[in-house]
């Protein structure tokens, strides 16, 4: 599901939302480094080139600041990490203060900044920014429905958790390998979340899979019901054959009235046939309910014979 690629292409129409989205990206996947001469370097880190491109664009749009992209390779698999870095300077500091990443006291803000999520439009944009750098949704064709955002800061994870809870999502939080995971498991919630942050194609794809899944579930239920019915009719046939055997033992089938004798013989010859099929197997075909009627008469006869001893 290409939710991220779709979201990376989205361009926020309002400046307030562009600011919120950049804030979300920096909160979830930003890094701050203090260099010499108190120079602060801020960067968005991501392994997705389309996300890096979007960060570059948002830096320019929100603060009018140039940024540079540095590519690093990590680990034996040479995983590529894109660092979109702001050139250090007073403007960068101003932007960080504006996004509440630098607090007025000079500290680093780690929670969800209220000013970025006040409006509905901005809240959605903020969540989009967070999802772009830290989120993923797994293909529900595999295990189950699962959408998660993985962040390193516990306080920010809590903030994200409460933000989603306020938006009425059934949200969960867990720690995995020293990182915080905020996730959704409910299919309706995942669909609503994707819709909220603007991943409409991914949402449609998910809904398509859901429809297929539900249809398949319906078919399974039908097959199960049918199996149950087959088992029921097999049990009934076994019982009918038992009565017929009783009659044969007691008086012999040849002494039965012609209609009942034929019914008994057809049942014995076709133990697997349904009542409707039995009716068609007679020399003069009869309906399912007529078959049922004759079988009941055979049963009554057998019962009378066993009662007599
Ligand atoms: Zn907005």
Under a CB-based contact definition with an 8 Å cutoff, are residues 10 and 197 in contact? no
Same domain (yes/no): 101, 138: yes
pTM, two decimal places:
0.67
Average pLDDT of the residues in 54-83: 87
Same domain (yes/no): 169, 227: no
Structure confidence by residue, pLDDT tens digits, 32-47: 776 666 677 788 999 8
Taking the CB of residue 74, how many other CB atoms lie within 10 A of it?
Answer: 10
Helix extents (H) in 139-287: 154-166, 187-197, 200-250, 258-269, 275-281
Residue 209 lies in a domain: no
Start-to-end Cα distance in the chain:
73
- C-alpha span between 4 and 101 (Å, rounded): 24
Same domain (yes/no): 46, 193: yes
Distance 13 CA to ligand 1 centre (A): 9
Of all residues in the chain, the percent with pLDDT exceeding 90 is: 35
Under a CB-based contact definition with an 8 Å cutoff, are residues 259 and 297 in contact? no
**Residue with structure tokens 């009942």?**
260
Same domain (yes/no): 139, 252: no
Q: Is the pLDDT of residue 89 over 60?
A: yes
Quick one: pLDDT band at residue 142, thresholds 50, 70, 90?
low
Distance 196 CA to ligand 1 centre (A): 13
Residue 164 lies in a domain: yes
Residue 206 lies in a domain: no
Under a CB-based contact definition with an 8 Å cutoff, are residues 262 and 282 in contact? yes
Distance 56 CA to ligand 1 centre (A): 19
Same domain (yes/no): 7, 141: yes
- C-alpha span between 198 and 273 (Å, rounded): 57
CATH assignment at residue 133: 3.10.28.10
Residue range(s) defining the domain that contains residue 234: 222-307
Q: Is the pLDDT of residue 94 over 60?
A: yes
Same domain (yes/no): 42, 137: yes
Distance 124 CA to ligand 1 centre (A): 8
Residue 57 lies in a domain: yes
- Both tokens assigned to 275: 């009542």
Quick one: pLDDT band at residue 220, thresholds 50, 70, 90?
low
Sort 90 into a burial class: Cβ within 10 Å, 0-12 / 13-18 / 19+.
Answer: exposed
Quick one: pLDDT band at residue 230, thresholds 50, 70, 90?
low
Residue 35 lies in a domain: yes
The total domain count for the chain is 2
Distance 25 CA to ligand 1 centre (A): 15
Rg, C-alpha atoms of the chain = 35
Sort 232 into a burial class: Cβ within 10 Å, 0-12 / 13-18 / 19+.
Answer: exposed
Residue 216 lies in a domain: no
Quick one: pLDDT band at residue 73, thresholds 50, 70, 90?
confident
- C-alpha span between 245 and 264 (Å, rounded): 9
Same domain (yes/no): 51, 100: yes
Distance 28 CA to ligand 1 centre (A): 19
Taking the CB of residue 124, how many other CB atoms lie within 10 A of it?
Answer: 22
Distance 15 CA to ligand 1 centre (A): 7
Structure confidence by residue, pLDDT tens digits, 241-278: 888 888 988 888 888 999 999 999 988 888 778 899 89
């Amino acid at each position: 599901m290409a939710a991220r690629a779709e979201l990376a292409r989205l361009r926020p129409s309002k400046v307030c939302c562009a600011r919120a989205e950049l804030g979300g990206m920096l909160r979830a996947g930003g890094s701050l480094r203090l260099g010499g001469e108190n120079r602060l370097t801020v960067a968005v880190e991501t392994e997705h080139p389309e996300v890096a491109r979007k960060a570059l664009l948002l830096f320019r749009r929100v603060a009018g600041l140039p940024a540079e992209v540095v590519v690093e390779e990590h680990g034996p698999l040479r995983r590529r990490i894109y660092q979109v870095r702001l050139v250090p300077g007073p403007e960068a500091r101003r932007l960080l203060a504006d996004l509440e990443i630098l607090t007025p006291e000079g500290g680093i803000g780690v929670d969800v900044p209220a000013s970025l999520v006040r409006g509905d439009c901005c809240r959605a944009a903020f969540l989009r920014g967070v999802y772009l750098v830290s989120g993923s949704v797994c293909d529900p064709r595999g295990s189950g429905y699962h959408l998660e955002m993985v962040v390193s800061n516990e306080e920010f994870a809590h903030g994200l958790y409460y933000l989603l809870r306020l938006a009425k999502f059934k949200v969960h939080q867990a720690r995995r390998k020293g990182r915080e995971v905020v996730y959704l498991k409910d299919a309706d919630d995942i669909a609503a979340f994707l819709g909220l942050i603007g991943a409409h194609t991914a949402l449609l794809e998910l809904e398509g899979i859901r429809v297929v899944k539900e249809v398949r579930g319906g078919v399974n239920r039908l097959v199960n019901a049918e199996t149950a019915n087959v088992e029921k009719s097999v049990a009934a046939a076994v019982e009918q054959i038992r009565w017929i055997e009783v009659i044969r033992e007691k008086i012999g089938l040849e002494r039965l009235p012609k209609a009942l004798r034929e019914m008994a013989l057809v049942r014995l010859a076709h133990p697997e046939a349904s009542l409707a099929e039995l009716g068609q197997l007679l020399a003069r075909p009869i309906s399912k309910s007529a078959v049922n009627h004759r079988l009941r008469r055979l049963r009554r006869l057998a019962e009378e014979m066993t009662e007599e001893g």
